């Protein structure tokens, strides 16, 4: 009996220590010094939705395999965890071949990426929308290939607007305040504007207001976070919350996904800044009657649209250049890229995509402005830090004791010192 236990222990110890073999999926990309073409590449993709993201990429992998003979390992990671996952891989020199993320410039700065000259066919590159090419370009070369885009618009609850006797969406900030006050006055917990300045996406919420007051994060290649317009904008947002009291409770600590959007979806908010996935949810629920409009501007000038794109970047690894190029060729074929974007409910990144989507009346508000949409400075590696600083600090400015100028001064100093 002793023998049996000792044997069992020994076997267990062996099994636990001699950890070779197994059924590992193998290291992605070749690790050999030679540049023999790889037979397998790895994609780490961010998850936009449970129903569509993994399904699309798995199908894509089959198509890719059929076309090139190369295996495509797909790992879909939630947005909450993808920074940690990519960092872990890079710390261990195990970067994937393709990474899907909302930033790329720091990776380009670290010389980890292929530029479009190396992996993008000319026909593909010329089809990309120019403002996305620009935001994907770091020091004169394009590294951030856009996978999809979205544009923000003002969503307003038409029932509440009618009840409050408001004819149409506000065009200026004064009208905006007045409308929000009328809706708040309806009572019963209704708020004029659901404002998410919590850490989840504060930089997006602030950007869209900032752009519509003539401000920007950077102007002529210099940080202008604490410019007078921006202080004015943030002060306006604080006033909405603290003085006018037309926002929901505690906007500096409200996130978008589980804070501002649900309030609008419940019919309790007159206005919110939304994007096409919100529209899809609202249509599905069919509880709230809403319409979309361009953002109001400070003085009533031409509205600016805030656009966002995420990126598919390619890591330089021995022997994977052709495989990566084939990946992009296939991804940007209209059948693939537009199918993905349509399934996820986002907006196109190519000229041909804009044409294809133009027939959808629901997307008209966005498509008209997409080519002129302004983006955050994702082409500056420092932005990757500044964005986090913004997310963690802006909310404090709209609290009752908040100081918009002080907050922006601090962010400006942080940006100037390299994030």
Partner 1 sequence: MSTSTVLDTGPSTVPGRTPRAAPSRGAGYRAIRPYVLALAGFVVAALFALPYLVMLLDALRPSGDVLATPPTLFPRTWQWNTFGTILSDERFLHWLKSSLIVAATSTVIVLVIAVPAAYFTARHQFRGRTIFLLIVLMTQMFSPTALVVGLYREFFELNLVNTYLSLILTNTAFNLAFAIWILQGFFSSIPREIEEAAQLDGCSRIATLWRVMLPLTLPGLVTTVTFTFIAAWNEYVVALTLIQDDARKPLTVGISSYVTGYQQSWDQLFAASLIAIVPVVILFAAIEKHLVGGLTAGAVK
Partner 2 sequence: MSSAPGGGAGAADTAAPAPPRGNRPPVAAGSGRTNVRSFAALPWLGPALVLIAAVVFYPAVELVRASTSDYSITGLRKGSAGLENYVKVLAHPDLGTVLVNTVVWVVAVLALSLVLSLGLAQLLSKEFFGRRVVRWAVIIPWAASLVITARLFTLLLDYNYGIVNRFLLAVGIRDTPIDFLGDDRWTMPSMIAVGVFVTLPFTTYVLLAGLKAIPSDVYEAARVDGASPWQAYSRITLPLLRPSLLVASVLNIIYVFNSFPIVYTLNDRNPGFAHDTTITFMYKLAFKSADKSVGMSAAAGIANVLLILAVVLVYLRVSRWKETAD
State the residues that interact with partner 2 by CB under 8 A. Answer: 6, 9, 12-13, 16-17, 19, 83-84, 86-91, 106-107, 109-110, 112, 189, 198-200, 202, 248-250, 252-255, 258-259, 262-263, 266, 268, 381, 384-386, 388-389, 391-396, 414, 419
- Comparison of 42 and 268: residue with beta carbon closer to partner 2: 268
For residues 18 and 47, the answer to whether their CB atoms sit within 8 Å is no
Cα–Cα distance between 407 and 412 in angstroms, integer? Answer: 9
The interface partner of residue 281, options being partner 1, partner 2, none and the CB cut-off 5 to 8 Å by kind, is partner 1
Cα–Cα distance between 281 and 205 in angstroms, integer? Answer: 20
- Comparison of 183 and 354: residue with beta carbon closer to partner 2: 183
- Comparison of 112 and 120: residue with beta carbon closer to partner 1: 112
Could you tell me the CA-to-CA distances from 88 to 20, 91, 93, 98, 111 in Å, in that order?
22, 5, 9, 15, 18
Cα–Cα distance between 105 and 364 in angstroms, integer? Answer: 31
**Residue of 38, 20, 21 lying closest to 29 (CA atoms):** 38
The interface partner of residue 352, options being partner 1, partner 2, none and the CB cut-off 5 to 8 Å by kind, is none
| Beta carbon of residue 298, minimum distance to partner 1 (angstroms, whole number) | 29
- Comparison of 51 and 322: residue with beta carbon closer to partner 1: 51
| Beta carbon of residue 187, minimum distance to partner 1 (angstroms, whole number) | 13
Q: What are the residues binding partner 1 (CB under 8 A)?
A: 1-2, 4-5, 8-9, 12, 16, 19-27, 42, 47-51, 54, 58, 73-81, 84-85, 88-89, 91-92, 94, 189, 200, 256-258, 262-263, 265-266, 268, 277, 280-281, 284-285, 287, 344-345
The interface partner of residue 48, options being partner 2, partner 1, none and the CB cut-off 5 to 8 Å by kind, is partner 1
Q: Read out DSSP for 24-91?
A: ----SS--SSS-PPPSEEEEEEEES-TTTHHHHHHHHHHHHHHHHS-EEEEEEEEHHHHHHHHHHHHH
| Beta carbon of residue 196, minimum distance to partner 2 (angstroms, whole number) | 9
The interface partner of residue 83, options being partner 2, partner 1, none and the CB cut-off 5 to 8 Å by kind, is partner 2
| Beta carbon of residue 15, minimum distance to partner 2 (angstroms, whole number) | 10
Number of C-beta neighbours around residue 275 at 10 A:
23
**Residue of 145, 30, 156, 161 lying closest to 98 (CA atoms):** 145
| Beta carbon of residue 254, minimum distance to partner 2 (angstroms, whole number) | 6
The interface partner of residue 50, options being partner 2, partner 1, none and the CB cut-off 5 to 8 Å by kind, is partner 1
| Beta carbon of residue 4, minimum distance to partner 1 (angstroms, whole number) | 8
Show Cβ contacts of residue 201 under 8 Å, excluding neighbours closer than 6 positions.
255, 256, 391
Rounded to 5°, the CA angle 201-207-210 comes to: 145
| Beta carbon of residue 286, minimum distance to partner 2 (angstroms, whole number) | 19
| Beta carbon of residue 35, minimum distance to partner 1 (angstroms, whole number) | 22
- Comparison of 182 and 387: residue with beta carbon closer to partner 2: 387
- Comparison of 124 and 246: residue with beta carbon closer to partner 2: 246
Q: Is 74 left (phi over 0), alpha (psi -120 to 50) or beta?
A: beta
- Comparison of 58 and 139: residue with beta carbon closer to partner 2: 139
For residues 58 and 328, the answer to whether their CB atoms sit within 8 Å is no
Cβ burial of 49 (10 Å; 0-12, 13-18, 19+) is middle
- Comparison of 80 and 117: residue with beta carbon closer to partner 2: 80
Cα–Cα distance between 129 and 302 in angstroms, integer? Answer: 21
| Beta carbon of residue 32, minimum distance to partner 2 (angstroms, whole number) | 21
Cα–Cα distance between 268 and 265 in angstroms, integer? Answer: 7
- Comparison of 268 and 374: residue with beta carbon closer to partner 2: 268
């Amino acid at each position: 009996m002793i023998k049996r236990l000792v044997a069992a222990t020994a076997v267990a110890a062996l099994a636990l220590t001699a950890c070779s073999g197994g059924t590992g999926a193998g290291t992605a990309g070749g690790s050999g010094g030679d540049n023999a073409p790889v037979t397998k590449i790895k994609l780490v993709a961010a998850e936009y939705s449970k129903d569509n993201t993994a399904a699309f990429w798995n199908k894509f992998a089959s198509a890719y395999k059929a076309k090139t003979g190369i295996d495509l390992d797909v790992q879909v990671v939630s947005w909450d965890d993808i920074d940690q996952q990519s960092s872990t891989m890079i710390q261990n020199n195990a970067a994937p071949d393709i990474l899907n993320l909302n930033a790329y410039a720091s990776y380009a700065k670290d010389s980890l990426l292929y530029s479009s000259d190396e992996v993008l066919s000319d026909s593909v590159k010329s089809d990309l929308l120019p403002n996305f090419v620009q935001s994907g370009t770091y020091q004169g070369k394009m590294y951030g290939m856009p996978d999809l885009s979205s544009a923000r618009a003002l969503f307003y609850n038409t029932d509440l607007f009618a009840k409050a006797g408001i004819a149409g969406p506000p065009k200026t900030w004064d009208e905006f305040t007045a409308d929000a006050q009328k809706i708040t006055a309806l009572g019963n917990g209704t708020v004029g504007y659901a404002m998410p300045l919590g850490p989840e996406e504060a930089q997006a919420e602030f950007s869209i207001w900032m752009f519509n007051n003539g401000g920007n994060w950077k102007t002529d290649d210099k940080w202008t976070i604490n410019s007078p317009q921006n202080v004015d904008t943030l002060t306006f947002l604080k006033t909405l919350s603290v003085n006018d009291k037309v926002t929901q409770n505690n906007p500096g600590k409200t996130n978008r996904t589980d804070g501002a959007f649900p309030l609008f979806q419940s019919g309790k908010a007159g206005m919110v800044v939304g994007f096409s996935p919100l529209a899809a949810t609202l249509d599905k629920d069919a509880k709230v009657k809403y319409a979309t409009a361009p953002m109001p501007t400070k003085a009533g000038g031409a509205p600016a649209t805030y656009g966002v794109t995420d990126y598919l970047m390619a890591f330089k690894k021995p022997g994977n250049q052709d495989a990566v190029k084939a990946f992009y060729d296939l991804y940007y074929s209209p059948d693939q890229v537009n199918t993905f974007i349509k399934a996820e409910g986002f907006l196109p990144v190519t000229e041909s995509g804009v044409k294809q989507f133009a027939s959808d009346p629901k997307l008209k508000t966005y498509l008209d402005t997409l080519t002129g949409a302004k983006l955050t400075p994702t082409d500056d590696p420092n932005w990757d830090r500044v964005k986090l600083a913004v997310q963690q600090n802006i909310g404090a400015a709209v609290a009752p004791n908040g100081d918009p100028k002080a907050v922006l001064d601090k962010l400006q100093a942080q940006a100037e010192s390299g994030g």
